[in-house]
Amino acid sequence: MDHPHLLSQIPLFESMEEADLVVLANKLSSKSFAEGDVIFAQGDKGDTMYVIEEGAVDIVAGSGSRRVTLASLFNGQYFGELSLLDAAPRSAAAVAARQTLTLVLEREDFVEFVRGRPAASLAIMHELAERMRATNELMTRTVSRNVVEEDEENISLGDKVADQVAAFGGSWPFIFIFAGFMAVWMTWNSITSGKLAFDPLPFMFLNLFLSTIAALQAPVIMMSQNRQSSKEKALAVNDYQVNLKNEVSIEKMLRSQNELVQRLAHVERMLGQSRSIAPDPRS
């Protein structure tokens, strides 16, 4: 397999020159694992990056009933790359899902490679900057929208009427106006007689009128309530999308910043060691 080409597919190394990739590929060694073998356990010291040449690997966290598979990796994919920089304990375990052949890059070999090739260090820093820029673009991209305004633009005439009826029917002006209307109706038909009393006691026409108003008002109010429920559902979906984007964006930003800080510190240490080793030209 073309190991330099395989390394070039890894985001950490894709900005490096071909000559640097060839040198780094020469530092790779092969290691095979049988199905079910634990490549490394959670909490182990991290000092190796693995590239899957053939087979499959599961990245898992926890144990027993709490064991969770975080990712399933296959040919050409890699894992454990951050250990090349900080040698921090593994945050998850890696288990071979079937017979697997991997390419292994030890941290010592990587440090030696970067120390002797500052241009490769700059390429890695460039890649990190690109990833940070992509994260910033994701953070500035707008996913929220004015659901109420969109709803108002698409509302039909019937929906507008239903909203107006529901809004007026649930207001104090409606209560006062309707109470005054009923008081005038009942008072007029109580103090007058003959043809002037068009609805005498027990106000049968008034009962029919009120029943008709209630029968028409109830479905109109339900229409408005159903549309309000749809609007609230759209608002909830929009809030979920915004919160999800914020959560993912913040997580990516924190990971990128942490990775950038670690790699910059590592590069500074190696450059400092190189200066201390280099002979003084005045001597």
Give residue-wise pLDDT tens across range 137-191.
655 555 555 656 666 666 777 777 777 777 777 788 888 888 888 888 888 888 8
Residue 206 confidence (pLDDT) above 90? no
Residue 116 confidence (pLDDT) above 90? no
- CATH superfamily label, 3-116: Jelly Rolls (2.60.120.10)
Local confidence band at 262 (pLDDT 50, 70, 90 cut-offs): low
The predicted structure's pLDDT at residue 8: 81
Whole-angstrom distance, CA of residue 245 vs CA of residue 147: 17
Domain locations along the chain: 3-116, 147-257
Local confidence band at 114 (pLDDT 50, 70, 90 cut-offs): confident
Whole-angstrom distance, CA of residue 148 vs CA of residue 158: 17
Whole-angstrom distance, CA of residue 61 vs CA of residue 66: 8
Q: Which of 47, 41, 94, 36 is nearest to 70 (CA)?
A: 94
Q: Which of 112, 231, 205, 222 is nearest to 166 (CA)?
A: 222
Q: Which of 229, 263, 231, 241 is nearest to 126 (CA)?
A: 263
What pTM was computed for the model?
0.46
Which pair of tokens denotes residue 224? 């408005």
Say which residue, 114 or 145, is predicted with more confidence.
114
The predicted structure's pLDDT at residue 137: 62
Whole-angstrom distance, CA of residue 77 vs CA of residue 70: 15
The predicted structure's pLDDT at residue 128: 60
